[in-house]
Amino acid sequence: MADSPTPAGAPGALPVYVVGGGPGGLSVAYALRAKGIRAVVLERSDRVGASWRRHYDRLRLHTTRGLSALPGLPMPRRFGRWPARDDVVRYLEKYAEHHRLEVVTGVEVSRIERAPDGVNWLLRASGGRELTGAAVVVATGHNHTPRIPDWPGRSTYTGEFLHASAYRNAGPFAGRDVLVVGVGNTGAEIAVDLVEGGAARVRLSVRTPPHIVRRSTAGWAAQYTGVLVRRLPVRLVDKLARPVARLSVPDLSAHGLPRPATGLYSRVGEGAIPVQDAGLIDAVRRGRVEVVAAVTGFEDGKVLLADGGRIAPDAVIAATGYLRGLEGLVGHLGVLDARGRPVVHGPRTAPGAPGLYFTGFTNPISGMLRELARDAPRIAGAVARWGRDRLSRPVA
């Protein structure tokens, strides 16, 4: 008989490794420590909150300060109702410091697999490291790897091309003709930023018209509604959202943005969060942002559009989203779906992978940071229970 495993949190126990030093990873590390379980955060960059540092300068949370704080530390009132990017970064730094979290930077985990004992987990990391943990929480983030569609002929485009992850502000694009591809929240805000920053012409390529909501109406934040309806039936929310949209958002059909045929909450289930208006409605109505058809390819230095149009912007910014980037890390464990997303998240574990948890890979209508904060104690509780359960079972 092999030695019985030591439960997480017991003297001499192996640590629980948390992969990723963003809000999800830090909040789980705090929740584990609160249960007396040693948690070690492994962050591939040199500082916590790396993905937040890369966001564009004008970014502000679409979720309120009060519903965006992580467990154990409120966000300061001086951040205002909608904290800015730099405020979030400072908050994450303070969070790790305040809770004295064990964060190891400059370590990139490339593969997670079962340890030879068949009970614990082995993490293969940069520098030839092999780390053994009692459990693992993967919190590498929703925005991990920039996604750029495989457009035919893109290599022939002679203008400037960049993914939205590389965009910081409108300064380099002043006086230029710019095409933004993608009308999620990122694409919409970058388009507005370009207009306000002096771009000569801004076009926004739209494949599927989005639902647009006001960030706040008479002091009522859209997030509050998202929290209230999250557990309601999809069809009911779709039905309720239609008259609200007609009352609060003007019809932009004449400007190329018709109201979506698919219901708002149905689209959320497909992964499309509503666009919160940060100036897009006004910019489209005034013609400062021109809506054009979807991009289908590039040819002779021009961008080809789905309606047959050909345009020649000076720069193209692809706000085309991100990949989770989990295939190399855990793809061999049977824990991902066909789209590369974890089949379970939060306190649940996939069949055949007990002790492996995921957080931050959904994009809920109620707010990402809110749900990360709620997931953290649930995951910590699951880790503690799992540690006790495996102690009670004999190990061959």
Q: Which fold has domain 148-318?
A: FAD/NAD(P)-binding domain (3.50.50)
Q: How far apart are CA 130 and CA 148, in angstroms?
A: 32
Contact, 222 vs 241, CB < 8 A?
A: no
- pLDDT band at residue 387 using 50, 70 and 90 as cut-offs: confident
- pLDDT band at residue 380 using 50, 70 and 90 as cut-offs: very high
DSSP 144: -
Mean pLDDT of 36-45: 96
Where exactly are the structural domains of the chain? 16-144+324-392, 148-318
Is the pLDDT score of 95 beyond 50?
yes
Single out the residue of 205, 67, 105 nearest to residue 149, CA to CA.
205
Q: Can you list the alpha helix ranges (DSSP code H) found in 263-360? A: 264-269, 280-285, 327-330
One fold for 16-144+324-392 and 148-318: yes
Q: Which residues 6+ apart lie within 8 Å of 325 measured at CB?
A: 140, 144, 145, 340
Rounded (10°) angle between helices 23-34 and 85-98:
20
The two tokens of residue 84 are 């800015």
Other beta carbons less than 10 A from residue 201's beta carbon: 17
Reported as a single tens digit per residue, the pLDDT across 285-302 is 999 999 999 999 999 999
Compute, in degrees rounded to 10, the torsion defined by CA atoms 221, 224, 230, 233. -80
**What's the pLDDT score for residue 323?**
87
**What's the pLDDT score for residue 285?**
97
**What's the pLDDT score for residue 367?**
93
Contact, 48 vs 20, CB < 8 A?
A: no
Mean pLDDT of 327-342: 94
pLDDT > 90: percent of the chain: 87
Single out the residue of 59, 56, 34, 52 nearest to residue 91, CA to CA.
52
**What's the pLDDT score for residue 330?**
97
Reported as a single tens digit per residue, the pLDDT across 3-26 is 344 555 554 589 999 999 999 999
Reported as a single tens digit per residue, the pLDDT across 103-124 is 999 999 999 999 999 999 999 9
Phi–psi pair at 138, nearest 5 degrees:
-95, 120
**What's the pLDDT score for residue 391?**
53
Q: How far apart are CA 221 and CA 239, in angstroms?
A: 20
Contact, 144 vs 323, CB < 8 A?
A: yes
- Residue scoring higher pLDDT (271 or 204): 204
The two tokens of residue 199 are 């771009």
Reported as a single tens digit per residue, the pLDDT across 153-199 is 999 999 999 999 999 999 999 999 999 999 999 999 999 999 999 99
How open is the CA angle 380-13-115, to the nearest 5 degrees? Answer: 90
Mean pLDDT of 137-164: 92
Compute, in degrees rounded to 10, the torsion defined by CA atoms 77, 55, 361, 29. -50
How open is the CA angle 342-205-264, to the nearest 5 degrees? Answer: 50
Single out the residue of 53, 55, 339, 301 nearest to residue 185, CA to CA.
55
**What's the pLDDT score for residue 348?**
96
| Helix, strand, coil share (%) of the chain residues, nearest 5 | 35, 25, 45
**What's the pLDDT score for residue 8?**
57
- pLDDT band at residue 242 using 50, 70 and 90 as cut-offs: very high
Decide which of 3.40.47.10, 1.10.760.10, 1.10.580.10, 3.50.50.60 is the CATH code for 16-144+324-392.
3.50.50.60
Distances (CA, A) of 101 to 28, 51, 85, 104, 230: 10, 19, 22, 10, 32
